[in-house]
C-alpha cells in the first residue's frame, strides 16, 4: 500500500507527541506531506500504542482547549483581510467597513467572529448545504462580483455540520479542505458520485473495478478487524465504512483516515480553513431524547466531548478508544489510536441512517453481511440500532455526580438530529467561543413536503430554557405555525437582532441568520430517504442552494448582500459602541423577526421555484423511497418524543 510508509511515520510522530505542550508549530514538519491523512497504523482497526510521556487526559469544559486557543490566534488574524474585502464589496452605504475592521484589527475581540452551521437531512442537506458553502467560498469561480457572497467562508472562524451536513463538512476536510466545485467535478473515483447508492456501492473502489459483493466484502472485513482487536461494534461501523466511499477520495473509502488527522493538514495548520466541528447526541439504550435533557457531544480535530453540565469534559479525539478512568489513563495502560476513523465519526453524527442498512437483509446479500448484521442486532436490540458505540467510555468515572454515564464503561452516541436540534448550533453558542453571528443553513424535512419550518431553532430555543443549557443563551424563536404563516421559512430571517435584549446577563448570544432551503431553480426537497441522486440533480440542488444563500445572487432582494454585511457587523458594532449605519437599520427592519406571532394553523406549504425551473429529465432512483420512509418514520417515532 502506497500509504503504508507515510502512515508509519505519522503514527510514530503522533504517538510521541507530548500531549500537553504539543504546539501547532511543532507539527509543521509533517505538514508538507499532508493531504487528509491515512494515519491509522492498521487501517480501520484501532491500534494499541505506548502512551506519550504526558499521557492524554480528560479536561474540564470550563474553557477552550489550549490547542483551540492557539489555533484561533492564527485564524482570527487570517479572517481580517477576507472580511475587509467582503464587507467593502457589500456596499454598506455611508460606512467605511474596511476602515472599521482596520481600526480594530489589533483587538480580535472587537472584530466580528463568524460561525456557519449546516443542518442534517441526508443527501438533500449535503447538497443544499454544499450550495451555501460554494456561494460563501471566494475560491468558487466568478464569485466576488455584485450579488455574490464569496469570501464569507474565508471570513468564518467555525464551520459545524450535523448528520448530512456533517458529511459535507467531513468530506471537505478529509479532502484537504477542497472546494465543493472540485468534488462535483471529480470523476477519478467514487467521491460525491451519489448516483450509486451506499447500499449498492461504487463502480470502483478507487483504482480497481468493484461490484456490490466485493464492496460488502470490504466493509465486513474492515469492521471484523476492529472486532477482532477487542472493540465493540455497532451498525454505525458498517454505515460509516459505506459512507466513506462517497465522502473520502481514497482507495477503498480510506479506512485509515482519522478525524483527528485534520489537525495535521495544511489548511488547518495554516488556519486558512475554518475550525470544523461535527455533532452527535448522547443516548443510552432505551432512552428517549428531548431537547431539554440531551447531552450534546462535539467532535473537532483536537477533541471530543461535551460542554453540557452533565459530561462537562473533553478528551483528545486522537486517543478515543483508550481506557480512561476518572479522566486519566491508568499507569501502565496502553493508549489507543485510529479509533477516531473519519467515516465512523461522520457515521455517528448520521446514525439514524443505520436503519437503512437493516433493509439490506431483504436483498440479495452475502451471508457474511447478513450474519454480521444479525449479530449486531442481537447484541443491541432493534430499537437501538441507531447507536454508535464509543466503548470504552472516555468519561468513565469522570464528573461522577453529574455525568449520566459516569458509572458505565460504555458510551453510546446517536445522530445529532435526534433531539430535534437538527442544526449544529450548540457548539457555536458556547460563551467560550464568543461567536457573533451564525449563518444557519437549514435543510430539515419538517413540513409534509420536506421543507424546513424552523423546528430545529425551536428545539434549540427550548433547550436554552432548561437546566442543561448551563447558561448558554439563545434568541427567542416563535412557534412553527408563526414561521410558516409569516413566511419566515421562504427567505433568510434574522433572530436575536436586538443585542440590548440580552445585556442583563454577562454575555450576548450570536445573531442567527436563518437560511431555510427553498426552491429557486429546482425542487430541492428530495426525501431524506432518497439514496440515489444522479449528478444532474445533485448539481441542480447545489445551484439552488447557492441561490438560497444569495437570494438568487441578490436578484430576488437587491438589499440582501448588503444585509449579510450588516449581520456580520451587528454584534461588533454594539460592542464597540459604533452607530449602526442607516442602511443596516433598514436591513434589520426587513430581515429580523419583529416579534409578531400568528399561531393559527397554516395552510399546506407548497412553494414553487422563485426563478425559472431547470429542466432535469432524470433525477436518479427513488424507487425504494416509500419502503424506507416507512421504516425511518418508525425509527423516528422510537427515538424522538415530539
Ligand atoms: C493538540 O494537538 C496536537 C496535534 O493534533 C495533539 O497531538 C495533541 O494531543 C492535542 N492536545 C489536546 C489536549 O488535544
Ligand atoms: C492542500 O491544500 C493546500 C491549499 O490550502 C495546498 O497548498 C496543498 O498543496 C494541498 N495538498 C495536497 C496534497 O493536495
Ligand atoms: C496575520 O495575517 C496576515 C495575512 O494573512 C499575515 O501576513 C500575518 O503574518 C499574520 N500575522 C500573524 C501574527 O500571524
Ligand atoms: C449601493 O447601495 C445603494 C443604496 O444604499 C444603491 O443606491 C447603489 O446602487 C448600490 N451600489 C451597488 C454597486 O450595488
Ligand atoms: C459572473 O457573474 C455575473 C453576475 O452574477 C453574471 O452576470 C455572469 O454571467 C457570470 N459569468 C460567468 C462566466 O459565469
Ligand atoms: C481525488 O483523488 C485523485 C487521485 O489522487 C485526484 O486526482 C483528484 O484531484 C482528487 N479529487 C479531489 C476533489 O480532491
Ligand atoms: C429525557 O426525557 C425523556 C422523556 O421525558 C425520558 O424518557 C428520558 O429518560 C430523559 N433522559 C434523561 C437523561 O433524563
Ligand atoms: C456549567 O456547568 C458546570 C458543571 O456543572 C459548572 O461548574 C459551571 O459553573 C456551569 N456554568 C454556568 C455558567 O452555570
Ligand atoms: C481496556 O480495558 C479492557 C477491559 O479491561 C481491556 O480488555 C483492554 O485491553 C484495555 N485496553 C487497553 C488499550 O489497554
Ligand atoms: C434477516 O432475515 C432472516 C430471515 O428472514 C431473519 O431470521 C434474520 O433475523 C434477519 N436479520 C436481520 C438483521 O433482520
Ligand atoms: C456513580 O457512582 C457513584 C459512586 O457509587 C455515585 O456517587 C454517583 O452518584 C453515581 N453517578 C451517577 C450519575 O449515577
Ligand atoms: C413543522 O415541522 C414539524 C416537524 O418537524 C411538524 O410536526 C409540524 O407539523 C410542522 N408545522 C408546520 C406548520 O409546518
Span 311-370, pLDDT tens digits:
999 999 999 999 999 999 999 999 999 999 999 999 999 998 887 776 665 555 667 677
Ligand nearest the Cα atom of residue 393: 9
The domains found in the chain, sorted by start residue, are 10-26+66-522+533-641 (3.40.1090.10)
pLDDT confidence bin for 609, thresholds 50/70/90: very high
Atom of ligand 7 nearest to the CA of 284: 13
Average pLDDT, the chain: 88
Query: Is 277 or 147 the better-scoring residue by pLDDT?
Result: 277
More confident residue, 34 or 61: 61
- For ligand 1, mutation pick of 55, 277, 318, 335 (most atoms within 8 Å of CB): 318
Model confidence over 267-276: pLDDT tens digits? 999 999 999 9
Report pLDDT digits (tens) over 108-147: 899 999 999 999 999 999 999 999 999 999 999 999 998 8
**Ligand nearest to the CA of residue 70, numbered in listed order:** 1
- Give me the percent of the chain exceeding a pLDDT of 70: 88
Among protein residues, the one with the nearest Cα to ligand 7's atom 14 is: 293
Inform me whether the pLDDT recorded for 382 exceeds 80.
no
63 lines ligand 8 (CB under 6 A): no
- What is the rounded distance in angstroms from the CA atom of residue 487 to the CA atom of residue 47? 53
User: 400, 409, 411: which to mutate for ligand 11, most atoms within 8 A of CB?
Assistant: 400
| Residue-level pLDDT at 620 | 62
Ligand 7 geometric centre to CA of 493 (Å): 32
Q: What local confidence, expressed as pLDDT, does residue 363 receive?
A: 57
- Provide the pairing of β-strand 59-60 with 412-415: unpaired
Could you tell which of 370, 384, 385 is best to mutate to test the pocket of ligand 10, judged by most ligand atoms within 8 Å of the CB?
370
| Centroid of ligand 8 to alpha carbon of 326 (angstroms) | 19
> Atom 10 in ligand 9: which residue has the minimum CA distance?
323
What ligand is nearest to the CA atom of residue 285? Answer: 7
Q: For residues 455 and 461, what is the distance between their CA atoms, to the nearest angstrom?
A: 10
Distance 400 CA to ligand 11 centre (A): 5
Q: Is the pLDDT of residue 627 over 80?
A: no
Instruction: For ligand 1, pick from 39, 51, 263 the residue to mutate: most ligand atoms within 8 Å of CB.
Output: 263
| pLDDT, mean of residues 22-26 | 30
Q: Find the range with the poorest average confidence among 13-22, 197-206, 218-227, 288-297.
A: 13-22
Residues 278-296: pLDDT tens digits? Answer: 999 999 988 888 888 999 9
Nearest ligand for residue 600 CA: 12
Residue identifier of the C-alpha nearest atom 11 of ligand 8? 470
Q: Is the model's pLDDT at 629 over the cut of 70?
A: no
Mean of pLDDT values over 28-55: 77
Give residue-wise pLDDT tens across range 451-510: 999 999 999 999 999 999 998 999 999 999 999 999 999 999 999 999 988 876 678 999
Rounded Cα gap, residues 336 and 226, in angstroms: 12
**CA–CA distance, 467 with 295 (Å, rounded to integer):** 12
Please indicate whether residue 293, judged by its CB atom, sits closer than 6 Å to ligand 7.
Answer: yes
Of the pLDDT bands very low, low, confident and very high (cuts 50, 70, 90), residue 36 is low
Higher pLDDT, 627 or 109: 109
**Ligand 5, residues 134, 144, 145: which to mutate, most atoms within 8 A of Cβ?**
145
Residue 366: predicted pLDDT: 64
| Range in 104-108, 139-143, 273-277, 631-635 the model is least confident about | 631-635
410 Cβ below 6 A of ligand 9: no
Mean pLDDT of 11-23: 29
3-state secondary structure of 539: helix
Count CB neighbours of 431 within 10 A.
16
Q: Is the pLDDT of residue 573 over 50?
A: yes
**Does the CB atom of residue 31 touch ligand 2 within 6 A?**
no
Count the neighbouring beta carbons within 10 Å of the beta carbon of residue 435: 24
CB 566 within 8 A of CB 112: no
Q: What is the DSSP string of 16-73?
A: HS-TTT--GGGGHHHHTT-SS----TTTTS-EEEPPPSS--B-EETTS--HHHHHHHH
Ligand 1 atom with the shortest distance to the CA of 319 = 9
pLDDT bin (cut points 50, 70, 90) of residue 588 is very high
Q: Output the pLDDT for position 578.
A: 96
CA of 552 to the centre of ligand 5 (A): 12
Q: Could you tell me the pLDDT band of residue 173, with boundaries at 50, 70 and 90?
A: very high
Nearest-CA residue for ligand 8 atom 4 is: 309
CA distance 310 to 465: 16
With cut-offs at 50, 70 and 90, classify the pLDDT of residue 532.
Answer: confident
Q: Which of the ligands is closest to the CA of residue 379?
A: 10
583 within ligand 4 shell (Cβ under 6 A): yes
pLDDT, position 636: 42
Tell me the pairing of strands 114-118 and 335-337: unpaired
Residue 634 has pLDDT above 60, yes or no: no
Which atom in ligand 2 lies closest to the alpha carbon of residue 273?
Answer: 5
C-alpha of residue 622 to centroid of ligand 10, in Å: 24
pLDDT in tens, 424-450: 999 999 999 999 999 999 999 999 999
pLDDT tens-digit readout, 45-64: 999 999 999 999 999 999 99
Cβ 287 under 6 angstroms from ligand 7: yes
Percent of the chain beyond pLDDT 90? 74
* Degrees to nearest 5, angle at CA 446 with 466 and 488: 85
Mutate to test the pocket of ligand 3, among 28, 72, 78, 273 (most ligand atoms within 8 A of CB): 78
Q: How confident is the model at residue 623 (pLDDT cuts 50, 70, 90)?
A: very low
pLDDT of residue 501: 85
Task: State how far the Cα of 329 lies from the Cα of 333, in Å rounded to an integer.
Answer: 6
Q: CA 322 to CA 336: how far, in whole Å? A: 5
Strands 303-306 and 313-316, how do they pair?
Answer: antiparallel
At 493, which helix (H) or strand (E)? Answer: strand 493-495
Amino acid at each position: 500500500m502506497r500509504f503504508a510508509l507515510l502512515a508509519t511515520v505519522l503514527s510514530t510522530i503522533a504517538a510521541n507527541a507530548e500531549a500537553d505542550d504539543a504546539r501547532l508549530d511543532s507539527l509543521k514538519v509533517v505538514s508538507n506531506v499532508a493531504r487528509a491523512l491515512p494515519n491509522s497504523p492498521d487501517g480501520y482497526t484501532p491500534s494499541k500504542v505506548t502512551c506519550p510521556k504526558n499521557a492524554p487526559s480528560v479536561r474540564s469544559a470550563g474553557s477552550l482547549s489550549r490547542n483551540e486557543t492557539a489555533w484561533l490566534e492564527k485564524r482570527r488574524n487570517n479572517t481580517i483581510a477576507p472580511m475587509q474585502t467582503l464587507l467593502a464589496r457589500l456596499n454598506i452605504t455611508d460606512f467605511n467597513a474596511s476602515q472599521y475592521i482596520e481600526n480594530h484589527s489589533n483587538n480580535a475581540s472587537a472584530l466580528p467572529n463568524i460561525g456557519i452551521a449546516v443542518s442534517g437531512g441526508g443527501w438533500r442537506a449535503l447538497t443544499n448545504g454544499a450550495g451555501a458553502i460554494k456561494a460563501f467560498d471566494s475560491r468558487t469561480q466568478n464569485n466576488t462580483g455584485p450579488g455574490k457572497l464569496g469570501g464569507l467562508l474565508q471570513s468564518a472562524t467555525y464551520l459545524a455540520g450535523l448528520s448530512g451536513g456533517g458529511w459535507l463538512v467531513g468530506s471537505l476536510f478529509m479532502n484537504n479542505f477542497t472546494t465543493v466545485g472540485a468534488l462535483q467535478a471529480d470523476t477519478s473515483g467514487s467521491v460525491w458520485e451519489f448516483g450509486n447508492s451506499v447500499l449498492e456501492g461504487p463502480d470502483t473502489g478507487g483504482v480497481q473495478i468493484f461490484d456490490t459483493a466485493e464492496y460488502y466484502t470490504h466493509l465486513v472485513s474492515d469492521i471484523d478487524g476492529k472486532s477482532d482487536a477487542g472493540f465493540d461494534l455497532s451498525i454505525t461501523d458498517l454505515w460509516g465504512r459505506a459512507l466513506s466511499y462517497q465522502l473520502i477520495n481514497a482507495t477503498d473509502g480510506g479506512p485509515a483516515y482519522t478525524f483527528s488527522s485534520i489537525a495535521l493538514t495544511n489548511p488547518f495548520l495554516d488556519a486558512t480553513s475554518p475550525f470544523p466541528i461535527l455533532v452527535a447526541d448522547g443516548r443510552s439504550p432505551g432512552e428517549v431524547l428531548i431537547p431539554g435533557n440531551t447531552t450534546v457531544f462535539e467532535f473537532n480535530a483536537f477533541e471530543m466531548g461535551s460542554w453540557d453540565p452533565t459530561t462537562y469534559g473533553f478528551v483528545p479525539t486522537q486517543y478515543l478508544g483508550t481506557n480512561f478512568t476518572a479522566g486519566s489513563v491508568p499507569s501502565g495502560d496502553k493508549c489507543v489510536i485510529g479509533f477516531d476513523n473519519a467515516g465512523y465519526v461522520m457515521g455517528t453524527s448520521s446514525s439514524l441512517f443505520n436503519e437503512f442498512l437493516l433493509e439490506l437483509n431483504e436483498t440479495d446479500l452475502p451471508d457474511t453481511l447478513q450474519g454480521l448484521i444479525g449479530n449486531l442486532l442481537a447484541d443491541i436490540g432493534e430499537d437501538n440500532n441507531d447507536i454508535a458505540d464509543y466503548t470504552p467510555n472516555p468519561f468513565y468515572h469522570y464528573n461522577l455526580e453529574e455525568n449520566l454515564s459516569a458509572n458505565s464503561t460504555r458510551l453510546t452516541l446517536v445522530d445529532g438530529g435526534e433531539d430535534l436540534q437538527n442544526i449544529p448550533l450548540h457548539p457555536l453558542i458556547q460563551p467560550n467561543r464568543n461567536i457573533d453571528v451564525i449563518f444557519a443553513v437549514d435543510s430539515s424535512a419538517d413540513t409534509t413536503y420536506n421543507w424546513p419550518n424552523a423546528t430545529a431553532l425551536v428545539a434549540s430555543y427550548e433547550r436554552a430554557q432548561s437546566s442543561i443549557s448551563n447558561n448558554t443563551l439563545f434568541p427567542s424563536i416563535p412557534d412553527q405555525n408563526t414561521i410558516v404563516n409569516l413566511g419566515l421559512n421562504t427567505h433568510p430571517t434574522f433572530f436575536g437582532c436586538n443585542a440590548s435584549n440580552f445585556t442583563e446577563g454577562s454575555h450576548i448570544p450570536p445573531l442567527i441568520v436563518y437560511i431555510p432551503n427553498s426552491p429557486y431553480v429546482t425542487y430541492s426537497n428530495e426525501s431524506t430517504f432518497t439514496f440515489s441522486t444522479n449528478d444532474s440533480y445533485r448539481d441542480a440542488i447545489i445551484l439552488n442552494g447557492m441561490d438560497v444563500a444569495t437570494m438568487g445572487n441578490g436578484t430576488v432582494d437587491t438589499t440582501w448582500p448588503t444585509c449579510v454585511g450588516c449581520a456580520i457587523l451587528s454584534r461588533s458594532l454594539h460592542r464597540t459602541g459604533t452607530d449602526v449605519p442607516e442602511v443596516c437599520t433598514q436591513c434589520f427592519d426587513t430581515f429580523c423577526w419583529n416579534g409578531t406571532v400568528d399561531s393559527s394553523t397554516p395552510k399546506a406549504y407548497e412553494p414553487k421555484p422563485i426563478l425559472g425551473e431547470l429542466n432535469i429529465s432524470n433525477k436518479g432512483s427513488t424507487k425504494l423511497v416509500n419502503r424506507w420512509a416507512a421504516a425511518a418514520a418508525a425509527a423516528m417515532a422510537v427515538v424522538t418524543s415530539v
